[in-house]
Every structure is written in structure tokens, then in C-alpha cells.
Amino acid sequence: MVDFHEDPVPGSGRRAARADFVSDAPRLPLNGRWRFRLSDTAGGTGPSLPDPALDDTDWDDIRVPSHWVLEGYDRPLYTNTAYPFPIDPPYLPDDNATGDYRLRFDLPSGWPGGRTVLRFQGVDSCGTVWLNGELLGHSKGSRLPFEFDVTGVVRPAGNLLAVRVQRWSSGSYLEDQDMWWLPGIFRDVELLSRPVDGIDDFTVRASYRDGSGTLSVTADVPGTVEIPELGLVFGTGERVTIDRVEPWSAERPRLYRGTLSAAGETIELAAGFRTVEIIGGRLLINGVPVLFRGVNRHEHDPDRGRSLDRDTMIRDIELMKRHNVNAVRTAHYPPHPEFLRLCDEYGLWVVDECDIETHGFIYAGWEGNPPGEPMWRDALLDRARRMVERDKNHPSVVVWSLGNESGAGAAFGDIERYIRHRDPTRPLHYERDPSYRHSDFHSLMYPSLDDLERIGQRKEDPPEGVLPESDDDVRRRGLPFLLCEYAHAMGNGPGSLADYQAILESYERFCGAFVWEWIDHGLAEVDSLGRRYYRHGGDIGYQPNGERFCLDGLLFPDRTPSPGLGELRKAIEPVGIAVDGGFVVVTNKYDVLSLGHLAFRWRAEVDGVLEDEGTLTVPDCPARSVVRVPLPALDHGFEGEVWLTVEAVLAEAARWAPAGHVVAFGQARSGSGAHRRPARAPGRAVFSADGRLVRLGDLELDGPVFDVWRAPTENDRGQGPRNALAADWEAVGLDRFLHRRGEIERPDGDTIVVRGRSGPATRTLGFRTTYTYRRRDDGLHLLIEADPVGDWDDTAYGHLTVSPPRMGVRFALPGGYSEVTWFGRGPGESYADSHAAARVGRYTAAIDALQTPYLVPQENGNHVETRWLELSGQGLPTLRVDGEPHLDFTARRWTSEALRAARRPHDLTDSGRVWLNLDHAQQGIGSASCGPALPERYRLPVRRYTWSMTLSV
Ligand code: IPT
């Protein structure tokens, strides 16, 4: 019995890699229910698997395509960088779950003679295939197709297809991406008739220059190309020039549809004319610079893993387009081929990445890393070949990525040579080899803002091991820069998206950036109480595991957009709208489109209430240019805080969004009027003996409690010991302040001063606090002064430099409060470094709706720049708080302590009270879970703070 799985060869018996296409030749999908049996070792059920006579009636049934670990067998495993098996290449442990699959099928009547091919679009990680007892061969390379010629083996009826799939194979050494290990036949299986005189493979070259296009199609047999719309009929191997064509771009994905026919077969063609070049250190497409506003997309579905259906792919693309995303890096493997067809049609720039990652060799000091070992050369090259051959005809694919996080090695030179020879029309990207010799881009992951700025100026320090002014150093500096990962979207965040975008838009060297990452890889599970939740690596009970690091997407696993995606949409919007003097300044940031497809509308709000609105006529304005339009004539008699909002919306429905969809907006304050405050009775204030405010008018409350801590976000926790701010807060005790009040003075009949001190046990550090209450006509005015005291440098415990995440106070309020109305930024949550998407306005929301259910509970739901807020609830007096001028507020039914303690959103239960935080400020969010430290300007240094507010009921 053959056992291929530990052999480093990429496969055997397979046909040559070729393009994926749609043709009129008969095709028989073999997806459906297959017989299935799982064994513990690579030998599976033994040698009788392919035997047609084997009785498999008592075997289970499994859905194909799927991952068996999501169909009730074995278990999914998640590791980030670690191999879940010993580094002992190319061998694997004996414990190696192996799925044996069997399918009986007949050919449909009329299945033509000629050749028949059996195709697998994706098998993880190694599949050995037999038909009617005959061994066809095997293949590795999980996210790539393979085919066998079954002519003469397949029969009209009573076929038995048998497939043995090992969970671990030599191929697993090349597939150490940061994702779930999900074995199985997880993409389509099909039988393809290859007609006599059919076309096996073809290459389309459709280039564009200055309005005209050049088209050629080469194929393995002579054929005819027809593009009716262009009046074209020509033969394969010819090159035709078309005087006037519209180019293909992500912004206007113009496809020219036609056919390629040979005597026995007609293939659908969708030509997109475009030319990708690097000139003068810049990436140009169709002669103009482009900026990728991108995301890294893994294939993920919480129930089906990487087995995605077409509707889910469309959903991803629609969500991307609606959030102004124009580019996808297919992290970290070629996607299902249908996804690329959809990218051609909807318009997304694609960096197609090869299924290569050997990250786990980091634990071997990169000793024996496959790209540097001759043993792996064929396997690595095979992966590049299968990607390029499969995807070469997609206009959306504009860059080939050689792989991810695989160090350096000679194999990348081999891959480079192969791709340049086969496809000189697309540049190559590879980030991890510091020489960048095999890359047409300089590229990094997760640089700080300052480092990015230097890169923009081509003034970056050379990577380690590269000598200044060496050939590699000089060449790299001349390359365009592609930021392949940034803004780690784990939990609440990422912060600084607008800061990054400002830099990316400032230097010609940049061709764009890809947020890490598109979607949280949570796997759906139901707990014993029937509640659905999402598992991460730490929920599996297997070591090692990458814990929560797979929950770092802009979408929750069910594809609900997170606040981070809303912020990204704003940060990367293709139209800038600002107000300058008497003008609305509209900056067209598209690379290709003019503004003709957009309509502009404006609204004027006074204290958040709509007072006037209209449309704005914006003259058509070409890509990458600016127009100034006179401001709409506003009534200048408005009293209050006046904001003008201008929106750019789709004038007509696009394929991916209805007419009226908001593409971009800008807001500007008009005049300097302050918001009006309702006249209020002050309400009698009652204080406890120790100086807490316990009653205001008819409202019983309790507070203020000095609060300098928040439930850590994933980004506050940093990455291991790096940037572990939350650990420092806890080390010095910011999360467990004890309070002393009670020095109460009454300097006059309307004033009460409460002095105190707050700090943690065992420490001298803390803040001296002074609360000064003044009874005024519009309410109870509260001034808070906080002065640091004690040893904040923590000399006793090793010089931690701690900055508090919050500077504020907390009140406990009756649980009957249910709704908040506020004037400030909203409606979503906002933070110091993440509030571009939150418009100034007046909002009302249920307290329950103010919570963002991050899969791992953590700080959420803050609102910066709040002018005032009102809490209301059945039978309760409305509590109003006015900032002087602004506050951050958070309102929730549980405390920050409960938020930290919870493991899942459903662990959070109503405490019976509403906890209202009224903060002078909170620190920013950042993206330090895998990225640079939070910039200083978004932190709260230890210093004196004062702020005030007015409370009324
Ligand atoms: C980077 C990986 O490329 C990506 O797959 C993911 O693991 C990401 O980090 C973190 O979520 S690699 C890292 C060493 C920067």
C-alpha cells in the first residue's frame, strides 16, 4: 500500500496545472454526501479502501466539501506560528487523523467520449485518490487544485471513487499560516469532460495604454477568439490592437466578454484591459498610480471553516465595497477560484498569495527552513506553478505574492524565475526576505507611524543584515512600498487608522496597505444552555494553541461589521470633504473615477437637530484632484452649536450597493455658537457622611468614584511582554484603587468641597482628589481636581512607567434607566485615536445597544466629545449631564471589573444598576496586540487633571 504523505514530493500522477475556466464542455459536480470513516493513523482503514467490493454500508456519511473537524469528527486546532507537531521534516507523528472517503457514481447519459478529468479544488492536507480500484496519484498543497486524467478508468456506471486524506503530511510543513488547521476535502470535486479538440489551457494577455488595448490569447490548440462588443474575431497566437477600449480597474471593472473556441469546445472569456508597471519607484496601473485600500482576507465561515459557498464570497465582496475597500490580499493562500471571478466582476485589486508559510521554523532558529533546503524545492515551486497557472487570466490579480512569513531561501529565487518567465505582466511581492531580491516592492508588517513616515521618504534604516548603501539597500529604497499588514484588528480597535491613511496618502512611494484582517476566525459552538458562542484556540484543550489571536478581524465571525470596519470605511474614503472659508473642498481620492457617479447632499444641524438640508452641485472632478464649491447659504440666525454635514452618495445603484449609499462624508462646525442648555431646576443634592452624592432631586445615585482604569482591550494587553500596558496597570494596582473621602468643607451655602485620596493597597501612588460642588441655576456644578501623589515610577518594583487608561469618575444609577440621548460623537463607540467615523450629532440609544459584544469581553462603548447626555427610564427622573465643554461617557449594566472577568459576551449579566462613567478622557486604542506601542499622544500621562460637569434632573 502506498503511503505518500511523508514524502516531500508535491504529488504524483497529476495533470499539468492549467487555467480555471468555464466552458460548454460537460461537467459533473461530485459534491454531496460521501461515505466516510476516520482513523487515528495515516494508514486509515487499510488497503481495502479503493476496493470496489468493500462493503461500506456501515460507514458514516459526510458532506463534501467540508472539513471533518467541523462535521463532528476529531477537532479543529488553532496555532498562530507554532507547528502542532514536532519539527522533524518531512516526517509527522503517528497520531495523524486520516479520513477515508468513498463515493459511488454513474456518468450522466450522453457523457461524451474523449477524455475525462477528475478535479479537486482543495484537499487539506494530502489526498491519495483511486478510481475503480486503480491508483490515480496523490497531491499536497491544500488550497490549490489538482487533476487526474481518468479516461479509460471511469465507466458509464458503478464507479467507485476513493480518497484517503491525511491531516498531517509533508505539505503541512509549508502550511503554517496563522489559522485553524482544518483537514478534509473542503472545496469542490468535479468530473470534467475534455472534448476531442477541446482547449486544455490558455493565456489571455489584455494590456492597456493611453486609451488603446492589446489583446492576445494563446492556447494549447488553435482556436478563435471572438469579442462581439469590439467586433473582434481573431485566431489564437495573434495579437490585436484595439484603438479605443475602456481599461479594467477596481473602481470601474470593465470586462469585455467573449469566447475562445476550438473545434470541440467554447470557453467564456472576460477580458479586462490593464497594464501593471513599476516606473520610477511607483506602482502604476494603466499609467496612473493606485493606492490599495486593502484588507487581508482569509476564507472563513464560523460553521463551515474555509469551505465557503458563493453567496458568502459575494457577501464579503459587497461588504468590502460598501466599506470603501478596494483591494484584497488573499492571506495566505489562493482563494476558491470563484472568488477571483467575482473580484473581476465587482472590481477589487487582488494580491494573490501562494500557499506557502513556514513560520514555525522560528522555533528552530530558522534552521532547516524549507525555502533553503533542496528537498523542498519541487514542492515549493509546485505551489507557485499551480497558483499562477490557475489564476493567470484574472484581470483583478495584479500582484503575485510568493507566500507569507517563510524567511529567506533559494527556493524563492526559483519561484521568482518561474513566475517572471511565465507571467512577466505582474510584479512580485515577498515581505520576509530582508534583501527583497525576489520582490518588486519594499514591504513590512506593523510599522509605527514614525517608521512609515520615514519609509515614505525613502529614508528607512536598512533591515538587519543589509549594509547601508549596499546594492540591496539602494535597490530596496528605489522600490514602491506595499504595507502588507497593519492595524491589527483584534478586539476593540484598531486605533490610528486615520493616522496611517494620512501618511499613506502623503508619499508617492506608497501603493497601499492591507489591514490585518478581514474576519474573526471564531468557530460557532453551542454551550450547555443552548447559547451560541464562538470558539478560539484556547477553547479546544490542545497544546500548543494560539488562544484568542485568531479573533482579529474587522468582521465578527457572523460577518457583522465591527466598529473598526466603520472607522476603516471613513479613514479610507475615496472622497475627502472639508470646509475651508466659504467653500466645501472636495478632494477626489479615487485613482480612476471622476466624481460623476456621486451625488452630494448637505444638512445643517443645530445642537444636533436638523434645521436645513439640500443638495450640493459639485462639478465633475477627475481622479486625484480637488474642487472647491461655495458653501450652501445657511441661515446665520441659528442659535446653538451648528454643524454642517456633507455626504457623497451613489447617484445610481451599483452592483454592490443601492443608490444613496454613503461613500464619504465631511463635517464642519459653522460659527462659534455654543449649544443651548435647557433651563433646569438645580434639584436638592444630598451627600453621605463621607461625601458621596447619594441623591439629586428625586434621583438616588451613588458616586462619584474616582476611576483611572478600564477593562483591558486586547490591544492594551500587547503582545507577550511587549507593550503589555494592562499588565503594568494591574502590577501597580490601577484596577483596585481604594478611596478615602470625608474631608468635607462648606465654604458657603451653595458650595461643598469634598477632599480625598485614591490609590491601591501596598503602594504610595495615587491621586489626591477634590470635588467641588456648586449649586447653580442650571444644576449642580461639579469640578474635579486630581493631583498625582506618591511614587509613580515604582522604584520598589522595577521602574514601571505607568499611564492610567482613564481619567474619570463612575456613578452607580438605578437599573431602571434604559436609554441615553446625547449630543456629541456617535452613534457608534469612539476613542481618542478612533473617532473619524463618529459624526457629531444628537443620538438616542438603548443602554443595551451601546455595548459592542466583542467575543472576548473588554472595554467598549465609549463616546468622546460628548457635550451633554440624558439618561431616561420608566418612572425615573431624567438625569442630564453637561460637559464643560466635553466628556467621554460610557453607560452599561455591569462594571469594568465584571467586563474584565467575563470570558464570553453571555457571561455579562445585569448587575441591577447602570454604571455611568463620566471621563475627562480615556487613552486611545492602538493596535499593540500585534503592532507598535500606542503613540504617546494618545496616552494620559501622570499629571494634574481638572475637569467639570453639571448634573441636573
Ligand atoms: C503576521 C502574520 O502574517 C499573520 O498571518 C498574522 O499572524 C498576524 O501576524 C498576526 O495576527 S506575522 C507577525 C510576526 C507580525
What are the helix (H) ranges across 511-658? Answer: 563-571
Q: What is the pLDDT of residue 800?
A: 64
CB 333 less than 6 A from any atom of ligand 1: no
pLDDT reading at 424 higher than 70 = yes
Distance from Cα 882 to the centre of ligand 1, integer Å: 44
Residue 184's beta-bridge partner residues? 124
What gap in Å lies between CA 292 and CA 358, rounded to an integer? 26
3-state secondary structure of 849: helix
3-state secondary structure of 14: coil
Distance from Cα 938 to the centre of ligand 1, integer Å: 24
11-194 matches 687-952 in fold:
no
Given CATH 3.20.20.80, say whether it is the number of domain 278-569.
Answer: yes
Report the nearest atom of ligand 1 relative to the CA of 404: 3
Q: What is the pLDDT of residue 777?
A: 86
Instruction: Give the model's confidence band at 203: pLDDT under 50 very low, under 70 low, under 90 confident, else very high.
Output: very high
User: Could you say which of 147, 357, 485, 641 is catalytic?
Assistant: 485
Instruction: Give the model's confidence band at 181: pLDDT under 50 very low, under 70 low, under 90 confident, else very high.
Output: very high
**Pairing verdict, β 481-486 and 510-515:** parallel
pLDDT reading at 584 higher than 80 = yes
pLDDT digits (tens, 9 = 90+) for 205-218: 999 999 999 999 99
Which residue's CA is minimally distant from atom 12 of ligand 1?
405
Fold for the domain defined by 202-275: Immunoglobulin-like (2.60.40)
Question: Are the beta carbons of 926 and 833 closer than 8 angstroms?
Answer: yes
CB 930 less than 6 A from any atom of ligand 1: yes
Q: Is 464 a catalytic residue?
A: no
Q: What is the pLDDT of residue 949?
A: 97
Pocket test for ligand 1, best of 488, 551, 930 (most atoms within 8 A of CB): 930
Which residue's CA is minimally distant from atom 7 of ligand 1?
178
CB 445 less than 6 A from any atom of ligand 1: yes
CB 516 less than 6 A from any atom of ligand 1: yes
CB 579 less than 6 A from any atom of ligand 1: no
Query: HSE-up of 698 (CA within 13 Å, CB side)?
Result: 4
User: Could you say which of 265, 389, 405, 647 is catalytic?
Assistant: 405
Residue 33's beta-bridge partner residues? 63
Question: Are the beta carbons of 380 and 372 closer than 8 angstroms?
Answer: no
Distance from Cα 177 to the centre of ligand 1, integer Å: 8
What gap in Å lies between CA 754 and CA 771, rounded to an integer? 5
Q: Is 416 a catalytic residue?
A: no
3-state secondary structure of 673: coil
Question: Are the beta carbons of 932 and 792 closer than 8 angstroms?
Answer: no
pLDDT reading at 683 higher than 90 = no
Distance from Cα 149 to the centre of ligand 1, integer Å: 39
Distance from Cα 178 to the centre of ligand 1, integer Å: 7
What is the H or E stretch that residue 760 is in? strand 751-760
Distance from Cα 535 to the centre of ligand 1, integer Å: 20
Report the nearest atom of ligand 1 relative to the CA of 930: 10
Average pLDDT, the chain: 96
Report the nearest atom of ligand 1 relative to the CA of 484: 3
3-state secondary structure of 442: strand
Percent of the chain's residues with pLDDT above 70: 99
Which residue's CA is minimally distant from atom 10 of ligand 1?
930
What are the helix (H) ranges across 192-336? Answer: 310-322
Pocket test for ligand 1, best of 79, 178, 355 (most atoms within 8 A of CB): 178
Question: Are the beta carbons of 479 and 460 closer than 8 angstroms?
Answer: no
Report the nearest atom of ligand 1 relative to the CA of 405: 3
**Pairing verdict, β 11-12 and 349-353:** unpaired
Which residue's CA is minimally distant from atom 2 of ligand 1?
178
pLDDT digits (tens, 9 = 90+) for 28-48: 999 999 999 999 999 999 999
Q: What is the pLDDT of residue 795?
A: 60
Q: What is the pLDDT of residue 794?
A: 65
CB 353 less than 6 A from any atom of ligand 1: no
Distance from Cα 394 to the centre of ligand 1, integer Å: 27
What gap in Å lies between CA 147 and CA 11, rounded to an integer? 11
Distance from Cα 485 to the centre of ligand 1, integer Å: 8
- The lowest-confidence range among 259-268, 476-485, 679-688 is 679-688
Give the mean model confidence (pLDDT) for residues 878-887.
95
CB 296 less than 6 A from any atom of ligand 1: no
Is omega for the bond preceding 371 within 30 degrees of 0, making it cis? no
Class (C level, CATH) for 592-670: mainly beta
Given CATH 3.20.20.70, say whether it is the number of domain 687-952.
Answer: no
**681 vs 737 pLDDT, higher one:** 737
3-state secondary structure of 55: coil
CB 549 less than 6 A from any atom of ligand 1: yes
φ, ψ dihedrals at 736, nearest 5°: -145, 45
CB 178 less than 6 A from any atom of ligand 1: yes
pLDDT reading at 371 higher than 60 = yes
Report the nearest atom of ligand 1 relative to the CA of 179: 5
Q: What is the pLDDT of residue 277?
A: 98
Q: In the CATH scheme, what is the code of domain 11-194?
A: 2.60.120.260
Which residue's CA is minimally distant from atom 6 of ligand 1?
178
What gap in Å lies between CA 858 and CA 493, rounded to an integer? 11
Q: pTM higher than 0.95, yes or no?
A: yes
Which residue's CA is minimally distant from atom 5 of ligand 1?
178
What gap in Å lies between CA 322 and CA 131, rounded to an integer? 46
Domain layout of the chain by residue ranges: 11-194, 202-275, 278-569, 592-670, 687-952
Report the nearest atom of ligand 1 relative to the CA of 490: 11
CB 208 less than 6 A from any atom of ligand 1: no
pLDDT reading at 799 higher than 60 = no
